[in-house]
Amino acid sequence: MIRQLCLLFALSLAAFTTYGAEPEMQVYKTATCGCCGKWVDHLRANGFKVTVTEVSSVAEYRTKLGVPNNLASCHTGVVNGYAVEGHVPAREIKKMLEEKPNAVGLAVPGMPVGSPGMEMGYRVDPYDVLLFDKAGSITVYGKYEASK
Protein backbone atom coordinates (compact mmCIF):
# COMPACT_ATOMS: atom_id res chain seq x y z
CA MET A 1 0.00 0.00 0.00
CA ILE A 2 2.74 2.44 0.99
CA ARG A 3 4.66 1.47 -2.11
CA GLN A 4 1.65 2.20 -4.28
CA LEU A 5 1.07 5.53 -2.61
CA CYS A 6 4.71 6.46 -3.15
CA LEU A 7 4.46 5.56 -6.81
CA LEU A 8 1.27 7.55 -7.16
CA PHE A 9 2.91 10.52 -5.51
CA ALA A 10 5.97 10.28 -7.74
CA LEU A 11 3.80 10.07 -10.84
CA SER A 12 1.68 13.06 -9.92
CA LEU A 13 4.80 15.05 -9.11
CA ALA A 14 6.28 14.19 -12.51
CA ALA A 15 3.05 15.17 -14.21
CA PHE A 16 2.98 18.43 -12.32
CA THR A 17 6.55 19.40 -13.12
CA THR A 18 6.22 18.80 -16.85
CA TYR A 19 2.76 20.30 -16.98
CA GLY A 20 3.45 23.35 -14.88
CA ALA A 21 6.75 24.23 -16.55
CA GLU A 22 6.76 27.75 -17.93
CA PRO A 23 8.36 28.10 -21.34
CA GLU A 24 11.66 29.95 -21.01
CA MET A 25 12.34 32.70 -23.50
CA GLN A 26 15.56 34.60 -24.04
CA VAL A 27 14.98 38.05 -25.58
CA TYR A 28 17.54 40.35 -27.20
CA LYS A 29 16.58 44.03 -27.45
CA THR A 30 18.18 47.45 -27.36
CA ALA A 31 17.93 49.45 -24.14
CA THR A 32 15.78 52.18 -25.70
CA CYS A 33 13.15 49.94 -27.30
CA GLY A 34 9.87 50.65 -25.50
CA CYS A 35 7.63 48.40 -27.57
CA CYS A 36 10.07 45.51 -27.02
CA GLY A 37 9.58 45.90 -23.26
CA LYS A 38 5.82 45.92 -23.68
CA TRP A 39 6.01 42.71 -25.71
CA VAL A 40 8.04 41.12 -22.89
CA ASP A 41 5.26 42.16 -20.47
CA HIS A 42 2.75 40.45 -22.77
CA LEU A 43 4.79 37.22 -22.70
CA ARG A 44 5.13 37.29 -18.91
CA ALA A 45 1.39 37.91 -18.54
CA ASN A 46 0.89 34.75 -20.62
CA GLY A 47 3.07 32.51 -18.47
CA PHE A 48 6.47 32.80 -20.14
CA LYS A 49 9.61 33.04 -18.06
CA VAL A 50 11.54 35.75 -19.91
CA THR A 51 15.19 36.73 -19.60
CA VAL A 52 16.06 40.00 -21.34
CA THR A 53 19.53 40.82 -22.63
CA GLU A 54 20.08 44.40 -23.73
CA VAL A 55 22.37 44.62 -26.73
CA SER A 56 23.66 47.47 -28.89
CA SER A 57 22.37 45.83 -32.06
CA VAL A 58 19.85 43.03 -32.46
CA ALA A 59 20.98 42.21 -36.02
CA GLU A 60 23.82 39.83 -35.11
CA TYR A 61 21.53 37.79 -32.83
CA ARG A 62 18.87 37.70 -35.52
CA THR A 63 21.41 36.35 -38.01
CA LYS A 64 22.75 33.84 -35.47
CA LEU A 65 19.23 32.52 -34.86
CA GLY A 66 18.63 32.13 -38.59
CA VAL A 67 15.99 34.82 -39.08
CA PRO A 68 15.98 36.10 -42.69
CA ASN A 69 16.51 39.85 -43.03
CA ASN A 70 13.21 40.39 -44.84
CA LEU A 71 11.35 39.16 -41.72
CA ALA A 72 13.21 41.52 -39.38
CA SER A 73 11.60 43.48 -36.56
CA CYS A 74 12.76 45.35 -33.45
CA HIS A 75 13.66 42.46 -31.13
CA THR A 76 14.51 38.79 -31.38
CA GLY A 77 14.09 35.90 -28.99
CA VAL A 78 14.64 32.20 -28.60
CA VAL A 79 12.44 29.60 -26.88
CA ASN A 80 13.09 25.82 -26.86
CA GLY A 81 15.50 26.32 -29.78
CA TYR A 82 12.99 28.27 -31.90
CA ALA A 83 13.61 31.85 -33.00
CA VAL A 84 10.88 34.40 -32.31
CA GLU A 85 11.25 37.63 -34.27
CA GLY A 86 9.17 40.74 -33.54
CA HIS A 87 5.76 41.21 -31.94
CA VAL A 88 4.60 37.59 -32.12
CA PRO A 89 1.53 36.94 -29.93
CA ALA A 90 1.93 34.39 -27.11
CA ARG A 91 -0.85 32.32 -28.69
CA GLU A 92 1.19 31.36 -31.76
CA ILE A 93 4.34 30.79 -29.70
CA LYS A 94 2.44 28.33 -27.49
CA LYS A 95 0.94 26.67 -30.55
CA MET A 96 4.44 26.21 -32.00
CA LEU A 97 5.79 24.78 -28.73
CA GLU A 98 2.93 22.30 -28.73
CA GLU A 99 3.01 21.32 -32.40
CA LYS A 100 6.84 21.36 -32.64
CA PRO A 101 6.93 22.06 -36.39
CA ASN A 102 10.09 21.45 -38.38
CA ALA A 103 10.95 25.14 -38.61
CA VAL A 104 13.44 27.78 -37.53
CA GLY A 105 10.82 29.93 -35.85
CA LEU A 106 8.10 32.56 -36.01
CA ALA A 107 8.14 36.18 -37.12
CA VAL A 108 5.91 39.22 -37.31
CA PRO A 109 7.95 41.44 -39.66
CA GLY A 110 7.99 45.17 -39.09
CA MET A 111 5.94 46.52 -36.21
CA PRO A 112 2.22 46.27 -37.01
CA VAL A 113 0.01 48.51 -34.91
CA GLY A 114 -2.23 46.44 -32.64
CA SER A 115 0.16 43.49 -32.24
CA PRO A 116 1.20 42.71 -28.63
CA GLY A 117 3.40 45.59 -27.42
CA MET A 118 2.33 47.81 -30.32
CA GLU A 119 -1.07 48.83 -28.99
CA MET A 120 -2.19 52.31 -30.04
CA GLY A 121 -5.71 52.92 -28.85
CA TYR A 122 -8.25 50.88 -30.75
CA ARG A 123 -6.36 50.79 -34.01
CA VAL A 124 -5.37 47.32 -35.22
CA ASP A 125 -3.66 46.85 -38.57
CA PRO A 126 -3.93 43.45 -40.23
CA TYR A 127 -0.87 41.25 -39.89
CA ASP A 128 0.25 37.65 -40.28
CA VAL A 129 2.34 35.51 -37.97
CA LEU A 130 4.82 33.72 -40.21
CA LEU A 131 6.48 30.34 -39.69
CA PHE A 132 9.78 30.03 -41.54
CA ASP A 133 12.18 27.14 -42.07
CA LYS A 134 15.81 26.57 -43.01
CA ALA A 135 15.04 26.10 -46.71
CA GLY A 136 13.51 29.58 -46.88
CA SER A 137 9.87 28.60 -47.09
CA ILE A 138 7.41 30.78 -45.22
CA THR A 139 3.87 29.83 -44.19
CA VAL A 140 1.13 31.79 -42.44
CA TYR A 141 0.77 30.42 -38.90
CA GLY A 142 -1.68 33.00 -37.55
CA LYS A 143 -3.80 35.75 -39.04
CA TYR A 144 -4.98 38.94 -37.36
CA GLU A 145 -7.64 41.09 -38.98
CA ALA A 146 -7.84 44.87 -38.84
CA SER A 147 -10.18 46.47 -36.32
CA LYS A 148 -13.36 47.86 -37.80
| Chain mean position to CA 20 | 18
Compute the least distance from the CB of residue 77 to Cu ion, in Å. Answer: 12
Which one of 14-22, 28-36, 42-50, 119-127 is the stretch in contact with Cu ion (CB under 5 A)? 28-36
Write out 1-30 in H/E/C secondary structure: CHHHHHHHHHHHHHHHHHHCCCCEEEEEEC
**Is residue 35 at the binding interface for Cu ion, with CB under 5 A as the rule?**
yes
Distance CA 59, CA 73 (A): 9
Compute the least distance from the CB of residue 117 to Cu ion, in Å. Answer: 6
Q: What is the strand order of the sheet 82-86 is part of?
A: 49-54, 24-29, 76-79, 82-86, 105-108, 127-132, 138-144
- C-beta atoms surrounding 6 within 10 Å: 10
Q: Among residues 108, 111, 124, 129, which is the contact residue for Cu ion, using CB under 5 A? A: 111
Compute the least distance from the CB of residue 33 to Cu ion, in Å. Answer: 6
Compute the least distance from the CB of residue 58 to Cu ion, in Å. Answer: 10
Which one of 13-21, 35-43, 59-67, 138-146 is the stretch in contact with Cu ion (CB under 5 A)? 35-43
Binding residues among 50-109 for Cu ion as defined by CB under 5 A: 74
Distance CA 129, CA 3 (A): 49
Number of residues that bind Cu ion (CB under 5 A): 3
Task: Name the residues that contact Cu ion, by CB under 5 A.
Answer: 35, 74, 111
